A and B are shown apart, each in its own frame.
Chain A
Amino acid sequence: MNGAHDTMEQLIAAHALGSIEPAGFGEVGETEREILDHIAGCEPCRSLYLEMRETAADLALAAPAMPVPPELEGKILAQIRGEGNEVKRHRSSISVRYASVAAAIMLVFAGSMAAFAVQVSGRLSREERRSASVRSALALVGRPGTKTATLAGRGGTLVLAYTPSGEAMIFGTNVPAVAKGKKLELWLIRGGVPQPVAFFTPDGGVVAAPVKIQPARQDTIAVTVEPKFVTKPSGSPVSAVVLV
């Protein structure tokens, strides 16, 4: 157990109590992101995180229960019924997500086409390849049964689209360039064991690469920055998401 690990444990406990400072409280802020990134690759801390959250929920019961005014439920129901459009938007979150992802891809695609028009012939093949990849990602996202996992990192977002049959693509827009000599590595973490999936680099801020992966519930999808393809992550993920 080292000092950094002790600090993370203390951070997890304070976070569970909502005692983290200063701002961004109650939202997925930098501290929570730091914790989530850490627990994606640290099973003891993941267990502690869950323990602390459940203990905080127990601590909530230290406050005496209050009689609930009878009209409160009616007010809540009136609000959710009165927000039909809003509620419908959330209930259709999957299709909306597909639509927004598709829209993002289309923007990239449009940008690619604009670039296509002005690039010298030597770059045409590169743009064409990138556009073809984006079209493939678009087709995959729009297919029934395709699921997505969003990896939000500092300054960029990657989306993993995958089907039950194992067909998958990792793609994203405005992905920041990684340091010279380094690339991004995609991981599937199952049972605390990371398995390398793909090694790639953003091309003009765009990632659109087919990958072989069959994620399941409780798996963690993570991305690290590596100097070369490795079979074990050399550091903490820059982004991670747990699948449900």
Chain B
Amino acid sequence: MAGPRNTQVVDLQERRDRDLIERIAAGGERAFGELYQRYASAALGLAHRVIADPTLAEDVVQEVFVGVWQKAATYNQARGSVRSWLLAQVHHKAVDVVRRESAERRRAKQPMADVPQRDASEEVVEEAWLASRRVDVQKALATLSVEQREVLELAYLKGMTQTQVSSAMNIPLGTVKSRTLAAMRRLHTLLGGSYDGGERTVALDAQPSRSSRERKR
């Protein structure tokens, strides 16, 4: 069960990511391949969830990783971890596609709670620490109020602007804004961890020590 954590440790995954980015910036193709292996399935999952079109989602992932290769030197650790930098680009481009292509028609009309929660260890190759974090996120989301979860669902996974969320939920724009901030703060508290512009820390009990496949045994 995700919950507030007090013991924070330096996230070695973030150090490893940063090392990969530095090597990619220096032209390291092997480092690029390693970063791709780490995040491709998460990136594709996010893009597909937002766009609901497998071909367009792959295009987004391709565009983002080509951009990572070209712009690795511009990564600014003071503005977030490598993970957040990369996934934010995936999200931005996916939402751009949705807004540009009016892809809403193609998207499944399922609230977040109804999205099939597949066991990542059975269907995708994903590193244990990422799979573990995914489980924590799902548990944390389940503890939010329905209203908080819905505002995050519409804003992030459906790519809606705050005004669109206001219309969709039939609540004032000011309420959307305050609820969004409250939901994000609650999620941050539940998941623990922090990033100070240099090191990322995670809660000790969120440190993955076993893969989700191992957990099933």
Contacts and interface: CB of A to CB of B under 8 A. Distances in A.
Contacts of B88: 18, 53, 56-57
B156 A19 contact: yes
B163 interface: yes
Contact of A73 (B33, B123, B180, B184): B33
The dominant DSSP class at the B interface is helix
Given A52-B184, A54-B195, A87 B84 contact: no
Interface stretch (A21-29, A122-130, A197-205): A21-29
Nearest to A91: B27
Interface of A: 9-10, 13-14, 16-22, 25-26, 46-47, 49-69, 72-73, 75-77, 79-80, 83, 86-87, 90-91, 93-94, 218, 242-244
Interface of B: 25-27, 29, 32-33, 36, 40-42, 44-46, 48-50, 57-58, 61-62, 65-66, 69-71, 73-81, 83-84, 87-93, 95-96, 99, 112, 115-118, 120, 123-126, 130-131, 133-134, 137-138, 140-141, 152, 155-157, 159-165, 177-178, 180-181, 184-185, 187-188, 191, 193-198, 200
Contact of B180 (A14, A67, A72, A86): A14
B149 to A, nearest CB: 9
A61 B195 contact: no
Nearest to B48: A66
A62 B42 contact: no
Contact of A57 (B84, B116, B152): B84
